[in-house]
Amino acid sequence: MCVSNFTKQLAVDSGICRLMHDLGSALTSTDTIYMLGGGNPAHIPEVEQALKQAMRCILESPGRFAHMIGDYDPPHGNRVFARTLADLLSEHYWPVKPENIALTHGSQSAFFGLFNMLAGSFSDGTQRKILLPLIPEYIGYSDLGLEPDLFVSAIPTIEHLDGHLFKYHVDFDRIESALKQQTMGAICVSRPTNPTGNVLTNHEIQTLSTLASHYQIPLIIDNAYGLPFPGIIYEDAELVWNEHTILCLSLSKLGLPGTRTGIVIAHEDHIEALSRINAIVSLAPGGVGAALATELIQTGQMMTLSQTVVRPYYQRKCEHAVHTLCQALEGQPFYLHKPQGAFFLWLWLPELRIPAQQLYERLKARGVIVVPGEYFFPGLKEPWSHTTQCLRISYAQEDAIVEQGMAILAQEITKAQAV
């Protein structure tokens, strides 16, 4: 088969393809699978009940259901939702207009558009990059570029905390050096960070914002797990947005991954460009997620669910998962990134004698699905042994699944560290 460069760039055996394949296989398997790998959110009864009620209201309101499934929205997405969200953000955070908001087919689609809009080859002959100021970073970014080598990333500093905990911090000396040496199109961070659950401090975010402003490039903040919804964040964190910030939200981790609804809040020029990309690639974003979210916001449930249901639910599961894993690995050398948000544990095994990818294969053979660390370091050019010593573990599944999966995980780690 003769394929184009586009195919060679995107139709690859990528980390995100493997993750989604594992997730789909686990959901359809008749065998016992301990799914500690994917980013699928938990099925929270209170959230599902609220979504069912929102759908009932849509069904019972004349014309709303017919519009939701029977009409195209404009390329920048449902405008009623945009006005409703703009009102919410203006009330709780900072003034924003509907013209600053666009929808996409999920966050992955949003980042595909944004990264290729802001980086790559330009008509003035420059080659611009996306700067990832702290790795490990989201697995889904790695293969989004239509041109190779789209990313430049920086190794973080590591702070060792009490017990087995540690935390990554942005190394600003490395960041400023990268900004001086190469032409960047944007800076991008996830907060909370996927895979580690790290929450960049308010100072780190403000410093990155200042650097972005100085170099006249956008700061992209991926808030798929963060504020204002779904609010899976366990630290005090300020939500930032201004004219050189692109804020990306999602309905997936609230409990709507099947609707594929990404939200981009940005300067009107960026919104207009992204809308045109939407029109060419997919005509218009889907309307189901926007309709349900509009109902939740208008009834006041969006913020209430995030603050009083979703965040406490995952925080309890986080504490249980940390306790379970620490007990299972007692006596073994290991570190856990301080879990500050999202629903993952990031496990660092400094004495692992085999690559994390090989440990992943051993675990998979026993029905335990995790994600090996090698996939979470896009743009890293220098060797770093850390990349092969880490695993991402989801604790979104039922407690019994997490407990049993971690018991098997500990057994295989013990074998791998004794080799």
Q: What is the pLDDT of residue 98?
A: 98
| Domains assigned to the chain | 13-47+307-417 (3.90.1150.10), 63-303 (3.40.640.10)
Burial class (CB in 10 A: 0-12, 13-18, 19+), 46: middle
Sign of CA dihedral 296, 298, 302, 307: negative
Q: What is the separation of C-alpha 70 from the centre of its chain, rounded to a whole number of angstroms?
A: 30
Under DSSP, the state recorded for 6 is H
Is residue 30 predicted with pLDDT exceeding 50? no
CA dihedral 49, 51, 57, 62 (to 10 degrees): -150
What is the pLDDT, as a whole number, of residue 8?
72
Q: Residues of the chain with pLDDT > 90: what percent?
A: 89
Q: What is the mean pLDDT of the chain?
A: 93
Query: Averaged over 223-240, what is the pLDDT?
Result: 96
Q: What percent of the chain has pLDDT over 70?
A: 94
Q: Token pair 């961070």 is at which residue? A: 189
Cis peptide before 312 (omega within 30 of 0): no
Q: Are strands 151-153 and 157-160 parallel, antiparallel or unpaired?
A: unpaired
pLDDT at position 32, please? 82
Do the Cβ atoms of 263 and 225 come closer than 8 Å?
no
Check pLDDT > 70 for residue 319.
yes
Residue 2's pLDDT band (boundaries 50, 70, 90)? confident
For residues 33-49, average pLDDT: 95
- Judge whether residue 40 has pLDDT over 50: yes
Range 146-171 average pLDDT: 96
Contact of 103 with 79, CB cutoff 8 Å: no
Contact indicator for 205, 233 with CB cutoff of 8 Å: no
**Could you report the per-residue pLDDT of 243-302, keeping only the tens digit for each?**
899 999 999 999 999 999 999 999 999 999 999 999 999 999 999 999 999 999 999 999
Number of H helices, E strands in the chain: 14, 16
Mean pLDDT of 64-86: 96
CA-CA distance, 369 to 362, in Å (whole number)? Answer: 10
- The verdict on whether omega for the bond into residue 230 sits within 30 degrees of 0, i.e. cis, is yes
Answer yes or no: is pLDDT of 25 > 70: no
- State the Cα–Cα distance between residues 260 and 106, nearest whole angstrom: 4
Q: Is the pLDDT of residue 308 over 90?
A: yes
Q: What are the pLDDT digits (tens) for 329-349?
A: 999 999 999 999 999 999 999
